[in-house]
Structure 1
Amino acid sequence: MNFSWRIPPWERGEDCTFLAVTLTDSGDGQYRHVAEGVRGDDPIEALADLLMAPGSLLGLMPSYPGLIGVVVRRGIDSTWLAKPPVQVGRDERGRWQVGIAQTDLPGVTVFTPTEISGLVSRLQSQYGRRTR
């Protein structure tokens, strides 16, 4: 599969246009988050920038066992960097579920571990595995 961009987001010399919040299982039913700015023209490109950035564990590992998901939001917001309004919990089958506390926010996308690993595979197939 070919991507539609001319220059991959992780190789662009531009300011960040999205915020990515990576959610991981920290044990005992708890989770932790890491928020960072990423580049791209849409949520998929923003996620690709996160995955292919040098040192990204998500891009290096075919499956990330503690990964709950990644929430991508258009725009940079300092409140989201400190405490993103995500709701994370387990459903009746024990699977992690991610929701957004502020329902009036446009431009927010939640990616599941399955979607993320699929994109990692496509990116590695097209661009090779990142080793930095």
Structure 2
Amino acid sequence: MTFDWTVPPWQRDEDCTHTAVTLKHLRAREFAMSSDLVRGDNAAEALADLLMGRSGMSDMMSNRGFAFVVVQRGFGTMHMSSPWQDEEGEWNLSASAGDAEVTIFSAADTREMFIRLQAAYPDR
């Protein structure tokens, strides 16, 4: 995968544009959440900043409980449903933030992005 940015989000000298909330499955229906402010022109760039930037998500990528990253443009209040499992055992989630754009990245999508970023930026 090629990334079409001129400067990667984690190297930009600009203010944050998105909120990223990471959900980790603890047990049963219990989840831990952490949030970070990240930069990017869209949700994918904001996820790249989370993965490669100062937050350093490499430990989370190998964690079996890692479930989702929810990215919201801006910094307002976000509402998420309780995560639920489908017939295949995959976790699902819905989220909204009023008029703000919200994107949900599954653990598989996030890991795939992380692998692609590491391949494209091996010195990072």
Q: TM-score normalised to the size of structure 1?
A: 0.82
Whichever residue aligns with residue 75 of structure 2, its letter is I
- The 2-side partners of 1:129 and 1:60 are apart by 17
Question: Residue 67 of structure 2 corresponds to which residue in structure 1?
Answer: 68
Partner in structure 2 of residue 45 of structure 1: 45
1:110 equivalent to 2:104? Answer yes
Identity %: 37
* Residue 90 of structure 1: how far off its partner (Å): 2.2
Structure 1 unmatched runs, 5+? none
Where structure 2 has 5 or more consecutive residues not aligned to the other structure, the ranges are none
Shift, 1:10, TM fit = 0.5
1:1-132 alignment, distance < 5 Å: 1-56=1-56, 58-60=57-59, 63-77=62-76, 80=77, 84-93=78-87, 94-100=89-95, 102=96, 104-128=98-122, 130=124
Change in CA separation of 1:34 and 1:61 when aligned onto 2, cut-off 3 Å: closer
The verdict on how the C-alpha distance between 1:55 and 1:73 changes in structure 2, with shifts beyond 3 A counting, is closer
Q: Structure 1's 127 and 87: CA in aligned 2 closer, same or farther, altered over 3 A? A: same
**CA RMSD, aligned part only?**
2.0
CA distance in structure 2 between the aligned counterparts of 1:4 and 1:20, rounded to whole angstroms: 21
Q: Is the 8 A contact 2:21 2:69 kept in 1?
A: yes
- Once the 2 structures are TM-superposed, how far is the Cα of residue 65 of structure 1 from its aligned partner? 1.2
TM-score (norm 2): 0.86
Moved more, 67-76 or 104-113: 104-113
1:75 and 1:98 mapped to 2: Cα distance? Answer: 20
Paired residues, what number? 123
